[in-house]
């Protein structure tokens, strides 16, 4: 078997990254103090002690890369991000959710062109890559083809989703006229056009923006179409109490969105439920029983929504991962920051239940799982990504822990969650290709994109007539 594998490898160059502290996140949660990973093409072919791996591949004259004790981790996975909203960072701070949606975000999104979306995704992608993200789940925008173009150029991996709505108050005129059939049909066409493109790095999912903007028919048609095409559904779920109340009033169920989704059989293992803040104990057990995946976006939740019962979900066996949400609601697209915030707010939240904080809630190991292997499960891609294992895709990040932000490192796992900043992410490999080396993105021109994004965002806000009131006295 071993000889066979080596024969297959001959003729194709092998890269061996060695002398690294490797946090594999494999099922045994192995950590190699002095480890190496062999990569061929887009795939990890071996993981082990540096000496063993180097000698095993020496006859193939591999390219040896000495990581000098730096950390090697699976690429981080951001399971809820609005790439289209990057040009709208700062347009909706300190307002309630309905103002946020009706008066800022929807006018912004409905005035975007495909080129705006392309540029917004490039800008967002730059921030994602700098924070060690190799795969993300798009929460839904209008111009999926623009996003796909940017994702392919960035060299990152993504599950892209179109945002559709066929009901509800406050919708921009151009969206309000869309029929349910048009919503489903356009997503099927996007699936046909983009699914499994960019060397297999792009997948197309179905999207439901939120229940208040969906007819029953859209919900059930989405459920069936996703099943037919074998893909996932990305939906904002139970964001605010008002949403639950609307569902209770309209559908006559006794609690809210999750209870209703169970009734119409939408709670399934291919559902990625973002936020899921306002859920009761029974709904948590439903999420677990149905294998629904939850994206916890702690910073955005603190700004707009409230405390999600994350500890209860994890205890009930729900797969919980981490997301940043979009730039107008977070405003940082750093999953590194989300790891830190997730741990803190879920410890602090215990005050409401126990009368005191509980430092044992959401320990560092759990938070790291949320950002890696649970992220992979959430995007239904854990057979290929989420851990450093032979046979998986080579999505990995190199972390320089030698700067003042992390020194000294006594416990590498807690240091990754509590000390690491985006600035510690040195290099990023996605699908076997270095997309960032020594903090410089190799696939796109960062400065050029930043310049173009500044201009485009100004024009977009003017077209959408978005005013941002200020209480300060600008002279
Ligand atoms: Zn969102």
pLDDT tens readout for residues 397-444: 999 999 999 999 999 999 999 999 999 999 999 999 999 999 999 999
Query: Is the pLDDT at 161 greater than 90, yes or no?
Result: yes
**Chain centroid offset of residue 322 CA:** 7
On whether the CB atoms of residues 327 and 82 are closer than 8 A, the answer is: yes
How far away, in angstroms, is 331 Cα from ligand 1 center?
A: 12
Query: Is the pLDDT at 5 greater than 70, yes or no?
Result: no
CA separation (Å) from 279 to 255, 257, 290, 324?
8, 8, 15, 20
If one compares 168 and 138, the residue with the highest pLDDT of the two is 138
Query: Is the pLDDT at 287 greater than 90, yes or no?
Result: yes
How far away, in angstroms, is 274 Cα from ligand 1 center?
A: 7
Mean pLDDT of 191-202: 98
- What pLDDT does 467 receive? 86
How far away, in angstroms, is 18 Cα from ligand 1 center?
A: 39
**Boundaries of every domain in the chain:** 2-74+385-441, 76-378
- What pLDDT does 473 receive? 87
**Span of 19-33, 47-61, 398-412, 456-470 with lowest mean pLDDT:** 456-470
Return d(Cα 328, Cα 340) in angstroms, integer.
20
Query: Is the pLDDT at 174 greater than 80, yes or no?
Result: no
Q: At what angle do helices 180-194 and 216-229 cross, to 10 degrees?
A: 20
On whether the CB atoms of residues 46 and 390 are closer than 8 A, the answer is: yes
pLDDT tens readout for residues 295-307: 999 999 998 899 9
Query: Is the pLDDT at 1 greater than 50, yes or no?
Result: no
> Strand pairing of 433-437 and 425-430?
antiparallel
Cis amide linkage into residue 376, ω under 30° from 0: no
- What pLDDT does 6 receive? 53
How far away, in angstroms, is 209 Cα from ligand 1 center?
A: 8
How far away, in angstroms, is 118 Cα from ligand 1 center?
A: 18
Query: Is the pLDDT at 114 greater than 60, yes or no?
Result: yes
pLDDT-above-70 percentage for the chain:
97
Query: Is the pLDDT at 475 greater than 90, yes or no?
Result: no
Return d(Cα 392, Cα 429) in angstroms, integer.
13
How far away, in angstroms, is 305 Cα from ligand 1 center?
A: 11
Give me the torsion for CA of 297, 302, 303, 305, rounded to 10°: 80
For the chain, state the CA radius of gyration: 22
Given pLDDT bands bounded at 50, 70 and 90, which one contains residue 157?
A: very high
Token digits of residue 68: 């000098």
How far away, in angstroms, is 469 Cα from ligand 1 center?
A: 23
Query: How many C-beta atoms lie closer than 10 Å to residue 417's C-beta?
Result: 22
On whether the CB atoms of residues 124 and 81 are closer than 8 A, the answer is: yes
Return d(Cα 316, Cα 313) in angstroms, integer.
5
- Note residues around ion ligand 1 (Cβ under 5 angstroms): 139, 325
Query: Is the pLDDT at 11 greater than 70, yes or no?
Result: no
How far away, in angstroms, is 216 Cα from ligand 1 center?
A: 21
Task: Give the residue carrying structure tokens 């239940």.
Answer: 353
pLDDT tens readout for residues 218-268: 999 999 999 999 999 999 999 999 999 999 999 999 999 999 999 999 999
The architecture of the domain spanning 2-74+385-441 is: Roll (2.30)
Length of the chain: 475
Given pLDDT bands bounded at 50, 70 and 90, which one contains residue 3?
A: low
If one compares 11 and 152, the residue with the highest pLDDT of the two is 152
Query: How many C-beta atoms lie closer than 10 Å to residue 356's C-beta?
Result: 8
Mean pLDDT of 31-38: 98
**Would you call 131 helix, strand, or coil by DSSP?**
coil
Mean pLDDT of the chain: 94
Return d(Cα 461, Cα 471) in angstroms, integer.
20
Query: Is the pLDDT at 7 greater than 70, yes or no?
Result: no
How far away, in angstroms, is 92 Cα from ligand 1 center?
A: 13
How far away, in angstroms, is 234 Cα from ligand 1 center?
A: 10
> 76-378 belongs to which homologous superfamily?
Metal-dependent hydrolases (3.20.20.140)
């Amino acid at each position: 078997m071993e000889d066979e594998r080596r024969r297959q490898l001959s003729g194709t160059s092998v890269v061996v990254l060695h002398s690294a502290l490797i946090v594999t996140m494999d099922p045994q949660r192995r950590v190699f103090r002095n480890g190496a990973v062999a990569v061929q093409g887009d795939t990890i072919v071996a993981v082990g002690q540096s000496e063993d791996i180097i000698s095993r591949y020496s006859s193939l004259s591999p390219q040896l890369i000495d990581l000098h004790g730096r950390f090697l981790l699976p690429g981080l996975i951001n399971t809820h991000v609005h790439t289209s909203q990057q040009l709208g960072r700062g347009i909706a701070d300190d307002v309630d959710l309905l103002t946020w949606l009706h008066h800022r975000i929807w006018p912004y999104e409905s005035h975007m062109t495909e080129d705006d979306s392309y540029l917004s995704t490039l800008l967002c992608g730059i921030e994602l890559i700098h924070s060690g993200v190799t795969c993300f789940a798009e929460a839904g925008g209008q111009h999926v083809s623009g996003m796909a173009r940017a994702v392919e150029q960035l060299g990152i991996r993504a599950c892209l989703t179109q945002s559709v709505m066929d009901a509800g108050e406050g919708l921009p005129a151009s969206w309000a006229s869309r029929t349910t059939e048009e919503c489903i049909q356009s997503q099927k066409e996007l699936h046909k056009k983009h699914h499994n493109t960019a060397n297999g790095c792009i997948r197309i999912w179905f999207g439901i923006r939120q229940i208040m903007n969906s007819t029953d028919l859209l919900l059930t048609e989405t459920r069936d179409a996703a099943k037919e095409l074998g893909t996932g559904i990305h939906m904002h779920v139970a964001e605010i109490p008002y949403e639950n109340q609307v569902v209770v009033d309209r559908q006559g169920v006794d609690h809210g969105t999750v209870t209703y989704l169970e009734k119409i059989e939408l709670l399934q293992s291919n559902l990625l439920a973002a936020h899921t803040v306002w859920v009761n104990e029974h709904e948590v057990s439903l999420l677990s029983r149905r294998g629904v995946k939850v994206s916890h976006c702690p910073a955005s939740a603190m700004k707009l929504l409230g405390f999600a019962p994350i500890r209860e979900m994890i205890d009930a066996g729900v797969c919980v991962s981490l997301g940043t949400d979009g730039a107008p609601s977070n405003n940082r697209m750093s999953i590194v920051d989300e790891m830190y915030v997730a741990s803190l707010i879920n410890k602090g939240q215990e005050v409401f239940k126990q009368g005191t904080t509980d430092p044992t809630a959401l320990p560092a190991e759990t938070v790291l799982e949320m950002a890696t292997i649970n992220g992979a499960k959430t995007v239904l891609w854990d057979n290929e990504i989420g851990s450093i294992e032979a046979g998986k895709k080579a999505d990995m990040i190199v972390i320089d822990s030698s700067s003042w932000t992390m020194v000294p490192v006594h416990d590498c796992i807690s240091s990754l969650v509590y000390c690491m900043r985006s600035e510690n992410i040195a290099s990023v490999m996605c699908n076997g290709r270095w997309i960032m080396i020594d903090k410089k993105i190799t696939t796109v021109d960062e400065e050029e994109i930043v310049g173009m994004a500044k201009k485009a965002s100004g024009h977009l806000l003017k077209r959408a007539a978005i005013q941002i009131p200020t209480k300060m006295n600008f002279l």
